Chain A
């Protein structure tokens, strides 16, 4: 490149220098501008705004008359002193962790299955992706129909298999059972991503390593636990963190399947926040709840970023 400059006339060189300046300084700034505007205007600034609102008593009057007052930490105090809000936070965490554990187990198992050599493997690989593609609302709806107490496929399958209890069984009467049904939907939708990502990882492991382990007499289970998974440790960790973040954000499936019922016992943090804002009009407290969620997720994200950095190093 430097060769060109030496042999070019002065005015061309000057033009080239101007171009270089444009290309080195102005162009990147120009190209970053729209995306930067979107990211700052629509995510960074709103987070600050939510933070600000969480110290106010903003309600519907904020919109009609524009008035609201700063109430310090009152909203946070009311969140953490209320047994209801505390139990919502706790159940969001417990349910989230349970979903992640299930998703990872199912996802990794399916990836191991797909890594075996059998006829129809490619077909299965495509079928497994489908649940990921189904929109969350549609997925929740079809599963809700399958869990219908009177006409549901699940109850029919279960009582046909000899479990009389499931004749007319109401899946959404008790929170634990309702959460089980919701967890099945969540896992159904999130295991494909784990399975496909893990499969890519598995296929990157050279076959010789397995062969060597076979010679040493390691069984299939031992090979998976002692060789395969440790080799993919960082991938597994990253996937775990990603699915944890997803699990904490769950809204749609619960909103469609139970809307938080019965008796608000299946409300997760996202739903409670929404309800506090849009049916109770308590935008201040809703913002405080949202910030609680933000800090939890920020913590998990920090772990995620550290994992990625280690991976890069």
Chain B
């Protein structure tokens, strides 16, 4: 017994020494090489994309005789990663930035302004979100807008067509609930932001309006806002279009349920369509414009990302060159179409050879997409789960829409005022 203990202890000590030595040798080498840039790109869900980006980067390295340290950051934690980077001053030179984050980090001077000659080439909603004070801080890279993705096989069997407006959506949903054992619509709770906020626009309202003096004021608690939230939540509480667990769903869960044939409709982007159709022989998938609200509008959120150059970049010229390299037409088109997104420019989209499905997504982006108020506080609203909390509490039945949205509006105005 003693010898066993001793052997264990000896092995242990040996391991300790080894790892300490390893750890000591592992200190990351910070290269002062002048031709090096660090680039953060959001982790793409697919291996093809990752290889494509790596290929672009290699081409860039060859052309500029530079070395690029390409880091893939997972979306879910990227916001905190940027926070940490900015707090430590150890920022990348170039980064892909979620459109709602550009104003937030831009406000504390994290990014260098971009010189863009012709602003009109970009899709307005995408550019707008990257230019909080009218000065563009991010170059639109790719863009996309959500559309209604539905199980066409089931719709055909039930003799339904894609819903044109909110009433149709309810009727179709009720038919599906009555005739099948599927759930009807993705009333997600935890990931509700881009699902519920555009409904305010569809109802004819505004989330917040900018005053003449440039300040913002929340109008989310207007009758239209209340109607929008009530409509969204009623599909869960009143009509039972989604399972109880949807209160904690994100779009990923909706997508999984749709793919498994448990859910008939969800709101998704091009990439979501890609995921649910890939290797799917079980049913056909249709895509339709977002159902219109009482105001007749089909507005949705213009998603996508910007490429930004950090103000703290040690190699600004090379960093800018990398951005310009990535947004060149042919690369952007190749990249965007592989993701299921679109280039950030009107021309870029028009140059694409669109299929039937892409036409729908393009139509949503070009004619029915908008951006959230490009205010520095917006990222904190998302971080504080302001909107999703309201939705989730309404789904629990613990608060009514007016009360919840009054609170939201108050918080928003406090945030805007800071």
Contact = CB atoms under 8 A, between A and B. Distances in A.
Interface of A: 60-61, 63-64, 149-150, 168-170, 172-174, 258, 261-264, 275, 278-281
Given A64-B108, A263-B389, A170 B244 contact: yes
Interface string B372-389: 000000001001110011
Nearest to B110: A64
B385 A264 contact: yes
Interface string B265-298: 0000000000000000000000000000000000
B248 interface: yes
Given A61-B108, A170-B243, A261 B83 contact: no
B80 interface: yes
B245 interface: yes
A150 B243 contact: yes
Contacts of A275: 383-384
A173 B248 contact: yes
B189 interface: yes
A38 B108 CA distance: 35
B109 interface: yes
Nearest to A169: B244
Contacts of A170: 243-245, 247-248
B392 A60 contact: no
Given A64-B109, A264-B385, 7 more contacts: A64-B89, A173-B244, A261-B385, A262-B248, A264-B389, A275-B383, A280-B383
Given A275-B383, A279-B80, A149 B396 contact: no
Interface string B158-194: 0000000000000000000000000000000110000
A263 B83 contact: no
Contacts of B89: 63-64
A66 to B, nearest CB: 11
A256 B270 CA distance: 29
Contact of B245 (A150, A261, A280): A150
Contact of A149 (B88, B244, B380): B244
Contacts of B83: 60, 278-279, 281
B87 interface: yes
Q: Give the most central of B80, B89, B110, B392: most A CB within 10 Å.
A: B392
B393 interface: yes
A263 B108 contact: no
B383 A60 contact: no
A280 B380 contact: yes
B248 A63 contact: no
Contacts of A264: 385, 389
Interface in B80-94: 80, 83-84, 86-89
Contacts of A281: 83, 380
Given A170-B248, A278-B80, A281-B83, A261 B392 contact: yes
A32 B198 CA distance: 62
A279 B243 contact: no
A172 B396 contact: no
13 contacts: A60-B87, A63-B86, A168-B243, A168-B245, A169-B244, A170-B245, A172-B248, A173-B248, A261-B392, A262-B392, A263-B393, A275-B383, A279-B80
Q: Give the most central of B87, B189, B395: most A CB within 10 Å.
A: B87
B314 interface: no
Nearest to A279: B383
Contacts of A280: 380, 383-384
Contact of A263 (B84, B383, B388): B388
Contacts of B88: 63
A239 to B, nearest CB: 28
Given A263-B389, A264-B385, A174 B243 contact: no
A261 B393 CA distance: 10
B152 interface: no
A61 B248 CA distance: 34
A263 B243 contact: no
B79 interface: yes
B245 A173 contact: yes
Contact of B396 (A61, A168, A262): A262
Nearest to B380: A280
A21 B86 CA distance: 52
B396 A174 contact: yes
B74 to A, nearest CB: 15
A202 B79 CA distance: 52
B86 A60 contact: yes
A275 B385 CA distance: 11
Contacts of B392: 261-263
Contacts of A168: 243-245
A149 B385 contact: no
Contacts of B245: 149-150, 168, 170, 172-173
A280 B379 CA distance: 9
Given A63-B87, A64-B89, A279-B83, A173 B396 contact: yes
A61 B107 CA distance: 10
A262 B399 CA distance: 13
A63 B82 CA distance: 13
Contacts of A169: 244
9 nearest interchain CB pairs? Answer: A149-B245, A279-B383, A263-B389, A170-B244, A263-B392, A63-B87, A170-B245, A262-B392, A173-B247
Interface string B216-250: 00000000000000000000000000011101100
Contacts of B244: 149, 168-170, 173
Contacts of A150: 243, 245
Given A170-B244, A278-B80, A280-B383, A263 B396 contact: yes
Q: Give the most central of B189, B247, B388: most A CB within 10 Å.
A: B247
B186 to A, nearest CB: 15
A248 to B, nearest CB: 24
Contacts of A173: 244-245, 247-248, 395-396
Given A60-B86, A279-B79, A262 B383 contact: no
